[in-house]
Amino acid sequence: MILKLFDTYTRETREFVPINAGEVGLYCCGPTVYNYAHIGNLRTYIFEDVLRRVLEFNGYKVNHVVNITDVGHLVSDGDDGEDKMAAGAARTGKTAWEIAEIYTDAFLEDLELLNIKTPSILCKATDHIAEQIEAIRQIDAKGMCYVCSDGVYFDTSQDPAYGYLARLDVEGLQQGARVDKGEKRNATDFALWKFSPADEKRQMEWDSPWGKGFPGWHIECSAMAAKYLGPLFDIHCGGKDHIPVHHSNEIAQAHACYGTNLSNYWMHGYFLQTDKQKMSKSAGEFLRTATLIEKNYDPIAYRFLCLLAHYRSDIAFSWEGLDSASTALNRLREAFHSWDSDGKISEAYIAKFTSYVNDDLNTSRVIALVWEIVKDASLSSADKRATVEVFDSVLGLGLSQWQPPADVEIPDEIVAFAQKRQDARQSKDWAAADEARDALAERGYQVVDTSDGFEIKKL
Ligand code: AMP
Ligand code: ZN
């Protein structure tokens, strides 16, 4: 069955054809390690993990490269303002190098909590300064950059295809930005190398042919992707916020350095939103895996929640939504563990499953299919288990590793809180329901809704 993926570059769902038979080069933009990842960032990594698992299910060997941005990503996402790492260092009173290590470790822990497979290669920007300088040298040799007082800039007017990925109205942007583009020649020009301020010793700086400083964020990704996967590889991913700037700039750099589009397919995950806006590190509620655990949610319930939506639609986050995902996941885990072992795979269900995942990763249809299997009286319980186990190689819920919690005596006080939550939910008093749930969480219990009321679990 052919695998079809939506490619942002062509705006088409296209058959996936690898460059080298049997192998896939996959590059995913990784975290800027100046803070913890929020669950919005993690949604993007879950989408990329599902993509990798679908490719593996189709028999490909996936070379999965993820970068760690530990220098050069500026607060504005443009070319001004502080480096996010320097801001993170100032916020925490640690050095930029120390926070890079702390938040890289936290990122790896998040991947584990969410059953996200470890990338084949994890590469840090600060370990690849020479490669980035070499890439800028090649851009310079083509006359596609120029020097300003604060850095070296890519001249986007030299690339006739600049901005195609985002269908950018380059002329319109240019007209609108007459006043505030500073020394830049074009509004869309971006920094390849920033100079250290003359009066300041930066924690992270290197010598270069243009002067002491540090690389821009975009050159990091195209230089490392090309080093590990070659100048043209199969799939490049990130969140959809990367389409108009970061990925448009990576493509422009690859045009200049290698004469390629860098990747054959460009895929983008949509947002997790809170209060109708993108969850971000600077605005709104900052929810982490640790927040979920504090509130006694299993992080896998969040993974399940993400699988319920297509990766190309935004998810509006709510605790009620996570509660239902949690309840559904537990129901599935219990059903799975009640089934016998040593069954046969149902070819008919696997065919349907394959057609759904190969249709641009339609995980929500797969979840609906799982419930069909749960209810299917014509399939033996052992065959159900064997079949759903195959599905789980892509869903990544870890169903067979899950251990049912041991039976424990529940104190009266806890039952009273759970009852209070149930009553509050029935009268749609969500604030009171949340309060009762938090009270339970503080005492180490979680309440899960069931078809005939609720169940209390000790965590
Ligand atoms: P950052 O650590 O800020 O560089 O972001 C890491 C990844 O998370 C990028 O691929 C972003 O596009 C993605 N991202 C940022 N905010 C969200 C969000 N609210 N929902 C989904 N993905 C996001
Ligand atoms: Zn990137």
Q: Supply the residue whose CA is at minimum distance from atom 18 of ligand 1.
A: 40
Distance 173 CA to ligand 1 centre (A): 24
Distance 334 CA to ligand 1 centre (A): 33
Distance 144 CA to ligand 1 centre (A): 29
- Our answer on whether the CB atom of 241 is closer than 6 Å to any ligand 1 atom is yes
- Mean pLDDT rounded to a whole number for the chain: 93
- Our answer on whether the CB atom of 41 is closer than 6 Å to any ligand 1 atom is yes
pLDDT the model gives residue 247: 98
Distance 80 CA to ligand 1 centre (A): 20
Q: Which two tokens stand for residue 191?
A: 């920094």
Cα separation of 416 and 225, whole Å? 56
- Our answer on whether the CB atom of 223 is closer than 6 Å to any ligand 1 atom is no
Q: What are 212-269's pLDDT values in tens digits?
A: 999 999 999 999 999 999 999 999 999 999 999 999 999 999 999 999 999 999 999 9
- Our answer on whether the CB atom of 279 is closer than 6 Å to any ligand 1 atom is yes
Q: What are 259-286's pLDDT values in tens digits?
A: 999 999 999 999 999 877 788 876 667 8
- The number of the ligand 1 atom at minimal distance from the alpha carbon of 281 is 3
Whether the CB-CB separation of 64 and 52 falls below 8 Å is answered with yes
Cα separation of 249 and 244, whole Å? 8
- The number of the ligand 1 atom at minimal distance from the alpha carbon of 31 is 2
Cα separation of 247 and 395, whole Å? 27
Over the chain (459 residues), the average pLDDT of each successive run of 10 is: 97 98 98 95 98 98 97 76 84 91 97 98 97 98 97 97 93 72 92 91 92 95 98 98 97 98 98 84 80 95 98 96 97 97 98 98 98 98 98 98 82 88 89 90 84 78
pLDDT the model gives residue 170: 82
- Our answer on whether the CB atom of 156 is closer than 6 Å to any ligand 1 atom is no
DSSP state of 75: T
Distance 280 CA to ligand 2 centre (A): 17
If phi > 0 it is left, if psi is from -120 to 50 it is alpha, else beta; for residue 41 that is: alpha
List alpha helices for 346-411, DSSP H: 347-357, 363-375, 381-395
Q: Supply the residue whose CA is at minimum distance from atom 15 of ligand 1.
A: 41
Distances (CA, A) of 150 to 46, 142, 198, 213, 216: 38, 21, 10, 9, 12
pLDDT the model gives residue 187: 92
Cα separation of 139 and 239, whole Å? 26
Q: Which two tokens stand for residue 295?
A: 């509130």
CB atoms within 10 A of CB 426: 9
DSSP assignment string, 194-216: EEPPTT---SS-B--TT-SEEE-
**Residue of 8, 35, 44, 114 to mutate, ligand 1, most atoms within 8 A of C-beta:** 44
State the residue for tokens 């490269």: 65
Cα separation of 249 and 84, whole Å? 19
End-to-end CA distance of the chain: 43
pLDDT the model gives residue 409: 81
Cα separation of 80 and 267, whole Å? 28
Tell me the β-bridge partners of 24.
62
Distances (CA, A) of 201 to 118, 213, 277, 327, 354: 36, 10, 37, 53, 56
Tell me the β-bridge partners of 67.
123
The length of the chain, given as a count of residues: 459
Distance 248 CA to ligand 1 centre (A): 16
List alpha helices for 66-213, DSSP H: 84-92, 96-113, 129-141, 170-176
Distance 132 CA to ligand 2 centre (A): 13
Cα separation of 396 and 357, whole Å? 13
Say whether pTM exceeds 0.85.
Answer: yes
CB atoms within 10 A of CB 458: 16
**Residue of 35, 36, 41 to mutate, ligand 1, most atoms within 8 A of C-beta:** 41
- Our answer on whether the CB atom of 186 is closer than 6 Å to any ligand 1 atom is no
Whether the CB-CB separation of 135 and 152 falls below 8 Å is answered with no
- The number of the ligand 1 atom at minimal distance from the alpha carbon of 41 is 8
pLDDT the model gives residue 284: 62
Cα separation of 284 and 290, whole Å? 17
Whether the CB-CB separation of 47 and 311 falls below 8 Å is answered with yes
Q: What are 138-161's pLDDT values in tens digits?
A: 999 999 999 999 999 999 999 999
pLDDT the model gives residue 205: 93
Nearest to 209 by CA among 122, 145, 113: 145
Cα separation of 140 and 144, whole Å? 6
- Our answer on whether the CB atom of 387 is closer than 6 Å to any ligand 1 atom is no
Q: At residue 325, what is the residue type?
A: A
Which bound ligand lies closest to the C-alpha atom of 74?
1
In this structure, the dihedral spanned by the alpha carbons of residues 7, 12, 17 and 22, taken in order and rounded to 10 degrees, is: 50
The percent of the chain in helix, strand and coil, each rounded to the nearest 5, is 45, 20, 35
Cα separation of 179 and 385, whole Å? 64
Q: Which two tokens stand for residue 420?
A: 């209070």
CB atoms within 10 A of CB 245: 18
- Our answer on whether the CB atom of 314 is closer than 6 Å to any ligand 1 atom is no
Tell me the β-bridge partners of 316.
273
pLDDT the model gives residue 280: 80
Distance 240 CA to ligand 1 centre (A): 8
**Residue of 241, 250, 286, 315 to mutate, ligand 1, most atoms within 8 A of C-beta:** 241
Cα separation of 439 and 333, whole Å? 26
Q: Supply the residue whose CA is at minimum distance from atom 11 of ligand 1.
A: 239
Which bound ligand lies closest to the C-alpha atom of 66?
2
